[in-house]
A and B are shown apart, each in its own frame.
Chain A
Amino acid sequence: MSVDRQLLSGNEAVALAALHCGIALGTGYPGTPSTEILEVFSELGGRAQWAPNEKVAVEVALGAAYAKARALATMKHVGLNVASDPFFTAAYTGISGALIVVSADDPGMASSQNEQDNRWYAAAAGVPMLEPSDSQEAYDFFAEAVRISERWRLPVLFRMTTRVCNSKTLVHPSMPVLPAPGTAFERDIPGRVMIPAYARAAHRRLREKLTQITEWNETSALNRRIAGEKALGLIASGIAYMHAREAAPRASVLKLGLTYPLPMRSIRSFVESVERCVVIEEGDPYLAEAIRAEGLAVESKPPMYRFGELTVGRVRRILARDEAPEPAPPRGKPPSLCPTCPYRPVFQALKDLDCIVAGDIGCYTLGVLPPFEAMDTCVCMGASLGVGLGLRHALPPQEARRVVSVIGDSTFVHSGISGLVEMVYNPPTTGHVVLILDNGTTAMTGRQEHPATGRALDHEPTGKLVIEDLARALGVEQVDVTDPALNPDGFRTLLQDRLASGKTSVVIARRPCLLAAGAIKTYERAAAEKCKEDAE
């Protein structure tokens, strides 16, 4: 056994690679299964920070990459929806340093509201995409992503999935540490200012770069052929490759690492070298459709395998063309609100008052489960505001008055603020009530800091967003701060009153998450001591 082999998760491997590659700044927003990347990068000594949301993260990373730095932005798959605006046009402007955008997809929705396949984003935006299959590749491919990004001056999409992010596999961290390049501002107005006249040329430049990368990819070591039987050939990428090797150990395999733009000549020669060629991919038929569009006869999986994660068993069934209904996977006890969650009285009040709850995403979404069942909608982060307002506008007044938007503190900062602006700007005739559950942390994803905690990613004190001050400054008519656990009856009465008031109202229910309370006290004590020392 050699000592330099470490068991690392894909996320840990990316963090280590980021350090070794001289990433000058890592930014992102928490989201399973991506969250640990920045946390570990910070622990290893990298400069890492949480942005209020993914769009801001990509913009900050883009700015750093304009300044010739190597920058990293991390997020879960749905985070890229939020960040897609800068992401698309960053492909036009290009960069001067390196910009790696990690998208951690969640096929099977272990902890997500949808199972969208973000490989389409690479094709839609024209951004090169790498897909590692295990932690060693997460480490090695990351360095390759930095090289590609610097060589073609383009952002690179680093697409991982739950099982690549969270599985631990052996890694030889073999890379020499690359010092971060010097930063400088280079003025390039036509290259960086996307007014239509400049953007038209930029789009042509992007397509030209992609043509070059396609050619380069034909011989890149990121794609490999594993020799095997002629009777069966498999094309796979990411975790699907691992399942495929195990399900069909004797098959020939074309393993793709750089999956946008695709090396179609290599794919063609592989397809022609085998008698039966099957594309094994998780999620959408991204590879299969692209390959078929080239007129190549490959088999794709039956539609039923588009849902959920692939497994070795499912790949065996795909190869056997087995479309019989699958046995339900083992299911144990579902997650639930902590028995001592201080927000239980809030859900009790919402239930007692028969509210129509436009909900949001976080631990508190579990208020949808019995015994409360106190949530009526949950779409994406921040949607509680807009959806609640829309319900108010459309429903008859009697019913409209029952509508409450319920949102967590981290989610509010992420994408609730513009909804609050909307409430002030286009108030429903019945008014509206926004209930912010401020438990002092991003509990859902493992208790990360956010701008309203006043602490940075590493829990050190920094500028603090005060939610009630913001709400008042925006022009909300009534703003209350209350502790629902201290006085559940008082909370219910307040909520009832605000619902009947006909005004725009924000109620901040503030009480630290019990799982985070101890750590929060420790951080606060450390900050107070530091303050004292500085004063002395």
Chain B
Amino acid sequence: MDNRVVNVVIAGLGGQGVLLASDILAEAALRAGYEVKKSEVHGMSQRGGFVASDVRFGRAEVFSPMVPEGEADFVVVLAEDQVDAARPFLRPGGQLLTPDWIDGKALSNRRTLNVAMLGALSVSLDFAEAAWREALTKRVPGKYRDVNDKAFAAGREAGLRRRD
């Protein structure tokens, strides 16, 4: 992999687990051996409004923690009605991952959509499986682990199907 910084924006509504998803992604990137930064804004996000979190990683030093406007390689959106709001973050040729990728029936609990979307994203990243596993262990409390592992696997399958 070259020295380019990979830019990911995860967006959704307050309460959907946007920040947890970006925490897991950043931890996984760290465990995959990358330099990493992530950034978001707290506060009003708890009030059900639009939330976006930026994760950036690369082999060389990452400076700004914020994804420059219109330069996201991946935009992952958790809420159907926020897709249009999130689209401008994407660079030309970047990949938009939307919640309709995940079949509703594939998730036993819709609240794990955030982790399922990471599963879908994982198909496009070169992180070892162990990096994801360790990141999930670090960020997801024990009793929710199983349902989140299943969500990640379901998302990954959906991602693979899209690619094929």
The dominant DSSP class at the A interface is loop
Task: Please name all residues of chain B whose beta carbon is closer than 8 Å to the beta carbon of A446 when the two chains form the complex.
Answer: 42, 46
Nearest-CB distance from B27 to chain A (Å)? 6
B49 touches A166 (CB 8 A): no
Within 8 Å by CB of B30, from A1, A134, A338, A366, lies: A1
Task: Please name all residues of chain B whose beta carbon is closer than 8 Å to the beta carbon of A338 when the two chains form the complex.
Answer: 47-48
Q: Mark B14-34, 1 if CB is under 8 A from A, else 0.
A: 100000000100110011010
B64 touches A170 (CB 8 A): no
Instruction: Knowing A7-B30, A311-B69, say if A333 contacts B43 (CB, 8 Å).
Output: no
Residue of B nearest to A162 (CB): B41
Chain A positions 291-318 with a Cβ under 8 Å from a chain B Cβ: 311-313
Task: Please name all residues of chain A whose beta carbon is closer than 8 Å to the beta carbon of B48 when the two chains form the complex.
Answer: 333, 335-336, 338-339
- B63 on the A face (CB < 8 A): yes
Chain B positions 50-97 with a Cβ under 8 Å from a chain A Cβ: 50-52, 63-66, 68-70, 81-82, 85-89
Instruction: Knowing A168-B23, A242-B63, A311-B68, say if A332 contacts B33 (CB, 8 Å).
Output: no
| In the bound complex, CA of A338 to CA of B49 (Å) | 10
| In the bound complex, CA of A485 to CA of B63 (Å) | 49
Chain A positions 486-535 with a Cβ under 8 Å from a chain B Cβ: 515
Q: How large is the interface on A (under 10, 10 to 19, 20 to 34, 35 or more residues)?
A: 35 or more
B69 touches A329 (CB 8 A): yes
The dominant DSSP class at the B interface is mixed
A7 touches B65 (CB 8 A): no
B41 touches A111 (CB 8 A): yes
- A219 on the B face (CB < 8 A): no
| In the bound complex, CA of A363 to CA of B27 (Å) | 32
B69 touches A313 (CB 8 A): yes
Instruction: Knowing A243-B63, A243-B64, say if A333 contacts B82 (CB, 8 Å).
Output: yes
Task: Please name all residues of chain A whose beta carbon is closer than 8 Å to the beta carbon of B85 when the two chains form the complex.
Answer: 330-333
Within 8 Å by CB of A312, from B43, B51, B64, lies: B64
Instruction: Knowing A313-B69, A333-B81, say if A170 contacts B47 (CB, 8 Å).
Output: no
- A81 on the B face (CB < 8 A): no
- A205 on the B face (CB < 8 A): no
- B11 on the A face (CB < 8 A): yes
- B116 on the A face (CB < 8 A): no
Instruction: Knowing A166-B41, A242-B63, A337-B47, say if A332 contacts B68 (CB, 8 Å).
Output: no
| In the bound complex, CA of A346 to CA of B26 (Å) | 42
- A42 on the B face (CB < 8 A): no
A335 touches B14 (CB 8 A): yes
Q: Mark A1-15, 1 if CB is under 8 A from B, else 0.
A: 100010100000000
A312 touches B66 (CB 8 A): yes
Residue of A nearest to B81 (CB): A333
Residue of A nearest to B49 (CB): A335
Residue of A nearest to B14 (CB): A335
Nearest-CB distance from B91 to chain A (Å)? 12
Task: Please name all residues of chain A whose beta carbon is closer than 8 Å to the beta carbon of B42 when the two chains form the complex.
Answer: 32-33, 110-111, 166, 446
- A43 on the B face (CB < 8 A): no
Residue of B nearest to A11 (CB): B42
- A445 on the B face (CB < 8 A): yes
List chain A positions with a Cβ less than 8 A from chain B: 1, 5, 7, 32-33, 110-111, 134, 162-163, 166-170, 239, 242-243, 245-246, 311-313, 327, 329-339, 363, 366, 444-446, 515
9 other A-B residue contacts (CB within 8 Å) besides A168-B39, A335-B47: A33-B43, A110-B44, A167-B38, A167-B40, A169-B65, A330-B52, A332-B52, A333-B50, A444-B43
A–B pairs, 5, beta carbons within 8 Å = A163-B65, A167-B37, A243-B66, A333-B48, A335-B14
